[in-house]
């Protein structure tokens, strides 16, 4: 071989090696800093706009700056501080001793602490604040250094950092998340950000709605190619619930459906989208379901503390707000309910709307659908029972005609606290079905129904729904020589109905009612 050919071959090999090294630099997370140290700038710098930090972060800074070095705020907290959004939690990362750091913080603030992942040294700290409990997750670097950690995150807007032991208004931003935050773009951190953790596909949809941002084309391509089948049911459930609790959950579901992300979670949605409902203006059952969810969000917002003069500007919502304002605080408390693992009530409510739509498909029924999804999404028994009551009584508000004292009592006896949700869903469903031909008189009648039911529940619970017991089962058995059995429950129910109607006001009234009942049925 000639010398010139040898040099050419050597040069070609060097070019190929360089190209391969560059490709590795782009896709590798754990070794990117050692391979390409000049590609990314991790030097702290002043951001385009000041970072906003709540008092608890300022207090943490004062504490840690005196004792620690190299403790970094990462993830969504930095993004939200840059966008001046409220911070409800914090992620910290450190090179080592993450559990020691967690204990140090807890001991100073008198909070709570537990280990989330012993192997990865991840801990959760819960601190009391004037605004409520503040959550801090503390972990060691994902990789050998901070750059590795940031490169291993999902999106560039979540891959910024701030050294909490240094200057809180200096930003570390190697992936240009600041610019993407300003431009409102959801962009993957690396070429394998989505494929390495497919749940990030759902997260991209959620955060695009939260931040009113668009997903860039390359990230969108990765999302379309993702397969959620390998993701655990628990992780899918948690990300789904995070989507469903958003005020714009209907928009997020529309996007997720078009991207094919819901097939693994709700395989029946294609059938719903093919089912045209003629009385709803030719919309599909799936489109109608999304409209119900959207109207439910508007109703929730009109009731919430965030209501403005524009929130209930329409006739429909305006009339509802006027009627419901007497128990707005109670409705807000109802919506603030949390379920196991702190799943928000709004998420359960929206899930109920989706499950009801699935339950009307041929061959489906409410109980089977709720049971299947309770298992598939790893929901608790209490969530199952609440969902089942809503799905089974979805149209109860429209159907109820008996609003007598006993009719109201029976409604709440059948559905319990889920009746509040059934009333609000019923209103949302009417607005969705009749958006093209809105009948003010029919709407006012429906609002009046809901108002009558909610008034009894929130303002007259002990007289209309659950009056205090005058007799116990033992009292009845002792007074009339009866044995335990189903009859004792029936007698207690008769007494309760008498209390609701006002016919039973005392213990003597209750005993007399039982005596008359036993005599009428030849049971004494």
CA distances from 165 to 64, 127, 308, 376, 494 (A): 6, 19, 40, 44, 68
Query: Does pTM surpass 0.85?
Result: yes
CA distances from 71 to 68, 103, 184 (A): 7, 14, 28
Candidates 413, 432, 343; CA nearest to 384 is: 343
Contact between 296 and 423 under an 8 Å Cβ cutoff? The reply is no
Instruction: Report the pLDDT value the prediction gives residue 313, as an integer from 0 to 100.
Output: 65
Tokens (6 digits) for 17? 């090696």
Tokens (6 digits) for 38? 């000049």
Instruction: Report the pLDDT value the prediction gives residue 134, as an integer from 0 to 100.
Output: 93
d(C-alpha 516, C-alpha 522), whole Å:
10
d(C-alpha 136, C-alpha 88), whole Å:
9
d(C-alpha 306, C-alpha 299), whole Å:
12
Please, which residues bridge with residue 188 across strands? 155
CA distances from 89 to 165, 350, 473 (A): 18, 25, 49
* pLDDT in 10s for each residue of the chain, 524 residues: 444 444 444 334 433 434 333 333 444 443 344 334 446 788 999 999 999 999 999 999 999 999 999 999 999 999 999 999 999 899 999 999 999 999 999 999 999 989 988 888 999 999 988 888 899 999 999 999 999 999 999 999 999 999 999 999 999 999 999 999 999 999 999 999 999 999 999 999 999 999 999 999 999 999 999 999 989 999 999 999 999 999 999 999 999 999 999 999 999 999 999 999 877 778 999 999 999 999 999 999 998 888 777 766 677 788 898 899 999 999 999 999 999 999 999 999 999 999 999 999 999 999 999 999 999 999 999 999 999 999 999 999 999 999 999 999 999 999 999 999 999 999 999 999 887 778 889 999 999 999 999 999 999 999 999 999 999 999 999 999 999 999 999 999 999 999 999 999 999 999 999 999 998 887 76
Q: What number of CA atoms fall less than 13 Å from residue 77's CA on the CB side?
A: 24
Q: How many other CB atoms are found less than 10 A from the CB of residue 10? A: 10
Instruction: Report the pLDDT value the prediction gives residue 39, as an integer from 0 to 100.
Output: 65
Conformational region of residue 231, where left means phi above 0, alpha means psi within -120 to 50, and beta covers everything else: beta
Instruction: Report the pLDDT value the prediction gives residue 34, as an integer from 0 to 100.
Output: 38
DSSP string spanning 21-42? HHHHHHH-STTHHHH-TTTS--
Spell out where 142-244 has E strands.
161-163, 185-186, 214-215
Candidates 166, 132, 165, 159; CA nearest to 77 is: 159
Contact between 105 and 155 under an 8 Å Cβ cutoff? The reply is no
Rg (CA), the chain: 30
d(C-alpha 215, C-alpha 207), whole Å:
9
- Exposure b/e, 398-431, CB count within 10 A at least 16 = b: eebeeeeeeebbebbbebeebbbbbbbbbbbbbb
Candidates 384, 288, 193, 39; CA nearest to 204 is: 193
Instruction: Report the pLDDT value the prediction gives residue 523, as an integer from 0 to 100.
Output: 74
Contact between 94 and 70 under an 8 Å Cβ cutoff? The reply is yes
The whole-angstrom distance between residue 405's C-alpha and the CA centroid of its chain comes to: 36
Instruction: Report the pLDDT value the prediction gives residue 228, as an integer from 0 to 100.
Output: 94
Instruction: Report the pLDDT value the prediction gives residue 460, as an integer from 0 to 100.
Output: 95
Instruction: Report the pLDDT value the prediction gives residue 312, as an integer from 0 to 100.
Output: 67
The residue whose two tokens read 């840690």 is: 64
- Reduced to 3 states (helix: H, G, I; strand: E, B; else coil), residue 123 is strand
Contact between 275 and 329 under an 8 Å Cβ cutoff? The reply is no
Instruction: Report the pLDDT value the prediction gives residue 22, as an integer from 0 to 100.
Output: 37
CA distances from 463 to 306, 468, 502 (A): 32, 8, 9
d(C-alpha 337, C-alpha 382), whole Å:
13
Tokens (6 digits) for 366? 């409410």
């Amino acid at each position: 071989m000639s010398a010139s050919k040898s040099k050419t071959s050597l040069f070609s090999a060097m070019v190929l090696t360089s190209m391969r090294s560059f490709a590795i630099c782009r896709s590798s997370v754990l070794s990117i800093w050692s391979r390409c140290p000049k590609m990314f700038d991790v030097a702290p710098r002043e951001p385009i706009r000041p970072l906003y930090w709540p008092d608890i972060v300022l207090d943490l800074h004062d504490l840690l700056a005196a004792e620690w070095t190299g403790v970094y705020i990462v993830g969504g907290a930095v993004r939200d501080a840059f966008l001046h959004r409220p911070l409800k939690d914090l992620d910290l990362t450190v090179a080592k001793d993450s559990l020691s750091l967690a204990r140090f913080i807890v001991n100073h603030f008198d909070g709570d602490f537990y280990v989330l992942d012993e192997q990865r040294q991840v801990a959760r700290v819960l601190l009391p604040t004037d605004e409520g409990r503040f959550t801090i997750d503390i972990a060691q670097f994902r990789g050998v250094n901070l750059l590795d950690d940031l490169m291993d995150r999902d999106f560039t807007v979540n891959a910024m950092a701030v050294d909490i032991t240094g200057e809180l208004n200096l930003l570390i931003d190697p992936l240009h998340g600041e610019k993407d935050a300003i431009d409102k773009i959801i962009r993957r951190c690396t070429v394998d950000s989505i494929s390495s953790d497919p749940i990030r596909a759902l997260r991209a949809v959620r955060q695009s709605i939260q931040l009113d941002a668009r997903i860039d084309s390359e990230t969108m391509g990765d999302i379309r190619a993702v397969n959620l089948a390998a993701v655990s049911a628990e992780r899918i459930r948690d990300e789904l619930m995070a989507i469903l609790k958003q005020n714009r959950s209907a928009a997020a579901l529309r996007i997720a459906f078009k991207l094919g992300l819901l097939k693994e979670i709700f395989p029946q949605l294609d059938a719903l989208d093919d089912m045209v409902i003629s009385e709803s203006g030719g919309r599909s059952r799936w489109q109608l379901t999304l409209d119900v969810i959207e109207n439910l969000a508007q109703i929730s917002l009109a009731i919430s503390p965030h209501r403005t003069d524009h929130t209930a500007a329409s006739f429909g919502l305006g009339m509802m707000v006027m009627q419901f304002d007497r128990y707005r605080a109670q409705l807000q408390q109802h919506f603030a309910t949390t379920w196991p693992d702190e799943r928000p009530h709004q998420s359960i409510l929206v899930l109920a709307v989706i499950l009801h739509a699935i339950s009307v498909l041929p061959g489906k029924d409410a109980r089977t659908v709720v049971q299947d999804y309770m298992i598939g999404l790893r929901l608790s028994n209490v969530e199952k029972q609440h969902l089942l009551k809503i799905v089974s009584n979805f149209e109860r508000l429209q159907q109820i005609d008996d609003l007598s004292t006993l009719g109201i009592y029976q409604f709440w006896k059948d559905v319990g606290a889920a009746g509040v949700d059934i009333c609000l869903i019923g209103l949302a469903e009417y607005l969705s079905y009749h958006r093209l031909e809105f009948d003010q008189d029919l709407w006012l009648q429906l609002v009046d129904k809901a108002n009558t039911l909610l008034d009894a529940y929130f303002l007259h619970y002990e007289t209309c729904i659950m009056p205090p017991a005058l007799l116990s089962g033992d009292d009845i058995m002792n007074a009339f020589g009866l044995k335990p059995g189903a009859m004792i429950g029936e007698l207690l129910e008769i007494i309760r109905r008498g209390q609701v109607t006002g016919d039973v006001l005392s213990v003597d009234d209750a005993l007399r009612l039982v005596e008359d009942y036993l005599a009428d049925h030849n049971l004494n």
